[in-house]
Amino acid sequence: MTLARSILVPALALLALAGVARAQQAPPGPRAQEDALAHLLFPPELVMQHQQEIGLRPEQRSAITKAIQELQTKVIDLQWKMQDQSQRLATLLQKPVVDQTAALTQLDEVLGTEREVKRAHITLLIQIKNALTADQQAKLAAARGGAPPS
């Protein structure tokens, strides 16, 4: 792989994904919905930071740790897949005349894998919330400065 290609491939993939991200930020699109849901779930870092004050039990910690490990394994595989798909898209886009149908089909594959990554993250956050008691959830919500989820 030439130096130009090694720079161009990731750059084109990032450009394509950045455009998608910008499109998602337009209210009331998917990004706005994700932000609206963020206060209902608890990231693992928040749980770890406040594990003593919420009284996290060993079996809860174990369940959360297992869920995090499963996510990491799945996401690593998906990242490899997305990188391969992005490189394929970049190869299609490098041509002087782009086969629009092929490029859009490849873009759909990249976006499908991105969706799988997001779904895996939300799955983890749901598993964490389900591992916590209502009291623990209320304490975490207060610790981050938000109202407890209903």
Tokens 């996510």 belong to which residue? 71
Predicted confidence (pLDDT) per residue in 119-149, tens digit = 999 999 999 999 999 999 999 999 988 655 5
- pTM for this one? 0.70
Predicted confidence (pLDDT) per residue in 24-48, tens digit = 344 455 556 556 788 899 999 999 9
Domain 42-143, classified CATH 1.20.120, yes or no = yes
In three-state form (DSSP H/G/I as H, E/B as E, the rest C), the secondary structure along 78-94 is HHHHHHHHHHHHHHHHH
Beta carbons of 78 and 113 less than 8 angstroms apart: yes
Beta carbons of 86 and 8 less than 8 angstroms apart: no
